[in-house]
Amino acid sequence: MSKPKQIDSTPTDIFQSSALPIRVIQNLLKPDKTINIAVSGDVMVTELERKIIDTPEFQRLRRIKQLGTTYLVYPTALHTRFDHSLGTMQIAQVMMRRIIDNPHNSTEYDENKIEDEQKLLIRLFALLHDIQHIPFGHTLEDEFSVFKRHDEDTERTNYFLGPESTIGSIIKKTIDDNLYNRLMGLFSVKKKELASLGEDRFIYDIVNNTVCADLLDYLKRDSYFCNLDLSMSYRFLNFLYISWDDDKKSRQLVIRLWKKGKNTARKDILSELIRLLDNRYLLAERVYYHHAKINSGAILAAAVSRSKQFGRVGKMDLLEYGDEELLGKLIAEKPNGVSKLASSIRNRVLWKHIYSKNKKELESEQEENMQVNAAEIVDSDWWKQASTRKEKENHISELLRLDPGDVLFSCPGKDMAKKYAQMTVYWNGKLTTLSDRPDKDIIHDKLESINKSHEKLWCISGFLNKKCLDVEKEVISACEYTFALNPIKQQAAYDHYLEGLISREYDKCGVIASKTPKEHEAHKRNILDRLKVDCKVKGNNKLSCQYIKSLIIDEYKTN
């Protein structure tokens, strides 16, 4: 048997494949159903897939950009989740064919065995893997936690794929209930419970795990439309096979990194996988976490979270919107400040980045204050609690007489941007993960370097409307106080913050104009002492411009 054709790194090759054979589809249909193959250019779809693609729900993906606000950085990053969904299905088809046709795979151990039903599930799962996405989904879900992640929201899955939905009813009319339930199981399973999928687990791996059709499509697609010349080769697809896990409970996707019958590794394929992860890091650095994208994301998230608070935009509304529809809805809101924020996105008016704290600085403060858990604080207080983050932003803005949204924070989750090398590989006679390979060669060092580079992308950020730069120093002090873990540093930042607030209000009070400079300073110190006591007793939420002003006048009258 001849060796399978290798895939080179050109964009077109990876997207070309044959559709599912007509006989396979026919065998899975209900008795009264027939189906045809439709061909469009390089992409071949079945009649069932065509019906799904033609639904308004799937066509909506044309109106959702794959990279959210990245087009504000890279003008040609206008590709959509519609494009990506078709591409993912085609790459899943390529992976499936590589597994079946690979002469190195053993038929005795079912290493290339994919049942006809599973072939159908692979294509449908790949085609629909992003159907639950909302406009600017990664920004609103993963980066700013305004809404729950799309793949963790069962209500959203049922809305698009449930038995009463348009797409769900099309699928149920074509395939039997058992096959439909297996498809829904792929969408609802949690990553920690993948073994529960049994023989269908490898389907999830092909579409949605570490090295998968989803990743392979968006890496090439994103780099192409952002005009980043990243060299990519997917030759490792020729070494895919399916194996039972150690507990014999599920069949998983494996990459063969050890030569059969030889005590040696496939170093070329191993290097290729490392390059894949390195390319993913480069895209994270230059695209996914570009400073201007995070900036615009903070503004967008602020607009949506405030609109959500006012009851104007909810999760279910977003299931019908595209990007521009959402922005139009937000811009039409008046007079709560949401319109100004959304208009800033449309007109590319970004805030000034005035504060940052990276992972190294956070860990340093963690060492200084062992009574707190920095990782838990980052996740539970600063990232997951979008409403709490918004309250802190608004409180600072109010004290400085700014509009809501003029001060914004970005605090990603502690695992932001990490892409763990957890793909299962066959190495020296056993199954393991790429990151757990026992050897400590140069490849291991490269892998560690990539992981550390990902961690360095993590950063807490503070942003200020450029029209409000006269209070930049006060806002920086507020950021330092808000995100400080060391009590001493926190107190010093807080004192500096209060001093700035007092000075601003002090200058606005004409009743103290007659005092000498020395009296002014003594007066301010007294007010600062009273404020610190009051805030300690009553809490920071009692702090307001009017309260500071009343203290200034009261202190003036007393002295």
215 has a pLDDT exceeding 90: yes
113: its two tokens: 């065995």
The predicted pLDDT at position 505 comes to 75
| Strand bridging mode 424-427 / 251-256 | parallel
**Residues facing residue 242 across a β-bridge:** 253
Distance between CA atoms of 175 and 259, rounded to whole angstroms? 40
34 has a pLDDT exceeding 90: no
Query: Whose structure tokens read 């980066």?
Result: 143
Distance between CA atoms of 539 and 33, rounded to whole angstroms? 68
30 has a pLDDT exceeding 70: no
Residues 8, 234 contacting (CB under 8 angstroms): no
Tell me, rounded to whole angstroms, the distance of Cα 86 from its chain centroid: 20
Measured CA distances, 131 to 80, 372, 375, 401, 491 (Å)? 12, 40, 32, 43, 48
User: Of how many residues is the chain composed?
Assistant: 559
Q: Is 289 helix (H, G, I), strand (E, B) or coil?
A: coil
Fold of 13-239: Hypothetical protein af1432 (1.10.3210)
Task: Count CB neighbours of 351 within 10 A.
Answer: 24
Percent of the chain with pLDDT over 70: 86
295 has a pLDDT exceeding 90: yes
Helix axes 201-208, 81-101, angle to 10 degrees: 130
1-5, 22-26, 382-386 — which is least confidently predicted? 1-5
- Amino acid 101 reads D
The predicted pLDDT at position 152 comes to 77
Measured CA distances, 280 to 217, 225, 228, 520, 527 (Å)? 12, 15, 12, 57, 53
Residues 345, 327 contacting (CB under 8 angstroms): yes
Query: Residue 515 — very low, low, confident or very high, per pLDDT cuts 50/70/90?
Result: low
348 has a pLDDT exceeding 90: yes
43-47, 387-391, 493-497, 542-546 — which is least confidently predicted? 542-546
- Amino acid 3 reads K
Where do the domains of the chain lie? 13-239, 486-559
Taking only the tens place, the pLDDT of each residue in 192-213 is 899 999 999 999 999 998 899 9
Q: For the chain, give the mean pLDDT.
A: 84
- With a CB cutoff of 8 Å and minimum separation 6, the contacts of 152 are none
- Amino acid 207 reads V
Residues 331, 346 contacting (CB under 8 angstroms): yes
Distance between CA atoms of 472 and 474, rounded to whole angstroms? 6
Q: Which residue has the higher pLDDT, 6 or 346?
A: 346
Residues 97, 90 contacting (CB under 8 angstroms): no
Residues 48, 174 contacting (CB under 8 angstroms): yes
Radius of gyration of the chain (CA): 28
